[in-house]
Amino acid sequence: MSTAATPDIKMTRQQAISQLTAAGEPYELVAGRLWGRECRVFKHAPKSLRELFEVNRSAATFIVYDEERFSFEQAWQQASKIATILVNDYGVEKGDRVAISMRNYPEWVMAFMAITSVGAVAVAMNALWLTEEMEYGLQNSGAKVLFADQERIDRLLPALGNVTTTVIGVRPTKALPAGIADLAALLADCRALEMPAADIQQSDPATILYTSGSTGHPKGAVSCHANLLTSLLSWELEGHIAALKSGVVPEVPEDQAATLLAVPLFHVTGLLAVYMMSYRSQRKLISMFKWDVQLAMGLIERERISTFVAPAAMTGDLVNAAKQTTYDLGSLAMVGGGGAPRAPEQVKRIAQSFGKALPNTGWGMTETNAIGTGISGEDYLGRPGSSGQCSAALDIRIVDEAGTVQPTGSRGELQIRGSSVIEGYWQRPDANAETFVDGWLRTGDVAYIDAEGFVFIVDRIKDLVIRGGENIGCAEVEAGLLEHDNILEASVYAVPDERLGEEVGATIYCNQALTEAAVQAFLAERMARFKIPRYLRFSTEPLPRIAAGKIDKRSLRKMAVDSLAL
């Protein structure tokens, strides 16, 4: 079996896909079914996440956090202990939900390995959530156990009596409340050497990740083992496709491949594109407590980091800082994006800033496990406004409001299907009915596909703000504003932002004068900080409406954007 490129022989993308996914090849694609839907699956994919973790045990460095280092083998051994504790002490069984809410500590990775290796479902909770949001996530998922650090424990305490979840503390900085055990103490008492036995199928649920929609509470997107593994193998396949297209055989690096983890693990970008992609490539994962561009550059130099995948805000920070730094950033070979579009100028500057590093990006969703389309290198430099071409394991189409498939170049809703797409939303049949049409996932994005198959996303149907990769449902923020006794109407919308892509803006109609600070302080008690409008406009009259009676959000947004441009 061979996937190597031959020097000076270039292929088209379709020729490369046909060769690489043919019978007998490592990335062979065959007809299959997931969630009752026909799709293409990788024949030689691991059978489960447990197999992915177990077959990649080695002495190579895996996790680096501050001065701590763990090999792949050490991480597996710690995960085996955590799994034993979950099964023996907390009665966790296959299918039970176990939540994680913490910073990107090594324990996040090890807990995830443990949970999914015994057939339980890892609930990756948004670590930015406040008390009410955490309470909702635990109640909605029915999580049996929660792994939480001190910040998250402190937030949950006011609602702890309202949930049935048992909490295990991670890296506590003060005495833990009664009933909350310290993971370090549990591990010290555990002598387990083997991962508990479990019968796991590819179609078994593995994760629930919460994603903000255009209405109501966040929805829990349910993925099976095969969904996640499809994403990993699809990205690997894209690397081989790029080599065959260019005719250039990739150089074997002298250093161990290394990647910087600066995005949260509760996002599909951090979970899949950064963390889980590290196993098969034996890639070193350098985790940051929080984003700091100066610290990031020091880590790139010290650890010889070769890849960095992050939203445009972070990669933009790095591009800007690279102009004046004395750090050696020459190890960077790829600067990837995700979660929010990049400005075309940043795409060009990446190629100019890091010597050999080339930019790449892609379009994907929590619901597709981060894959969908991808673009890199010269293709990206030539089309900086594109989100790329469709993954080989998936299908995409553009449809109009009536559901009619549109021809090349015509705009409509982007829809997608395939083996990375979730089953649906946890306990939300209403949302499933709205989102899935004959096996196709409605993305809520308006796009067109050009003659070469490159996707260009031009608008959004869903009422969302995408701030630095975080989806924010406008309706959720509007509902929070309307809880205020003096706010009679509210309209929330996206305001363009050079660094974050979009910021939250709002226009409110009040029955008495309010200040920005008062409104923001009111919301700070009700929702995570990143959801609070940065830009607030006040109206002394009812908000304008369209003919159908709905608030004219488009005109309000235009007025806000125009006022900021003055």
Q: Which of 206-210, 378-382, 545-549 has the highest mean pLDDT?
A: 206-210
Q: How many CB atoms sit inside 10 A of residue 23's CB?
A: 8
- Residue-wise pLDDT for 133-151, tens only, equals 999 999 999 999 999 999 9
Q: Which domains does the chain have, with CATH numbers?
A: 13-44+223-460 (3.40.50.12780), 72-200 (3.40.50.980), 464-565 (3.30.300.30)
Going by C-alpha positions, the residue among 254, 244, 290, 311 that lies closest to residue 104 is 290
pLDDT at 7 over 70: no
Q: In whole angstroms, what is the distance from residue 319 CA to residue 60 CA?
A: 30
Task: Taking residues 434-441, report their average pLDDT.
Answer: 95
Highest mean pLDDT among 212-221, 348-357, 490-499: 490-499
- Of residues 2 and 33, more confidently modeled: 33
Calculate the average pLDDT of the chain. Answer: 92
CA distance 34 to 458: 31
Residue 324's identity, in one-letter code, is: Q
pLDDT score recorded for residue 214 = 58
pLDDT computed for residue 2 by the predictor: 45
pLDDT for 402 = 93
Least confident window among 77-86, 175-184, 315-324, 540-549: 540-549
Structure tokens at 238: 């894209």
pLDDT of residue 313: 83
Tell me: pLDDT of 3 over 60: no
Residue 347 CA to residue 351 CA, distance in Å, equals 7
The pLDDT of residue 345 is 78
Higher pLDDT, 515 or 5: 515
Smallest CA-to-CA distance from 318 within 341, 300, 297, 299 is with 297
* Average pLDDT score over residue span 381-393: 93
Q: What is the mean pLDDT of residues 458-479?
A: 86
pLDDT category at 8 given cuts 50, 70, 90 is low
Residue 317, classed as helix, strand or coil, is helix
pLDDT over 90 at 337, yes or no: no
- Bigger pLDDT: 457 or 208? 208
Interatomic CA distance for residues 501 and 468, integer angstroms: 6
**Per-residue pLDDT tens over the stretch 61-88:** 999 999 999 999 999 999 999 999 999 9
Residue 1's pLDDT is: 41
Q: Are 88 and 189 in contact (CB under 8 A)?
A: no
Given a contact cutoff of 8 angstroms between Cβ atoms, the answer to whether 83 and 50 are in contact is no
Give the Cα separation of 481 and 522 in Å (integer): 8
Among 129-138, 256-265, 433-442, 545-554, the minimum mean pLDDT is found in 545-554
Task: State the Cα–Cα distance between residues 224 and 446, nearest whole angstrom.
Answer: 28
Radius of gyration of the chain (CA): 24
Q: Where are the alpha helices (DSSP H) in 27-93?
A: 49-55, 72-90
Q: For residues 418 and 368, give the distance between their C-alpha atoms in angstroms, rounded to a whole number.
A: 8
User: What are the DSSP calls for 158-173, one per residue?
Assistant: GGGGG---EEEEES-S
For the chain, the distance separating the N- and C-terminal CA atoms, rounded to the nearest angstrom, is 61
Structural tokens at position 311: 């939203």
Predicted local distance difference test score (pLDDT) of residue 548: 66
Instruction: Answer yes or no: is pLDDT of 366 > 80.
Output: yes
98-126: pLDDT as tens digits: 999 999 999 999 999 999 999 999 999 99
Segment 530-537 shows an average pLDDT of: 95
223-273 pLDDT per residue, tens: 999 999 999 999 999 999 999 998 877 777 788 999 999 999 999 999 999
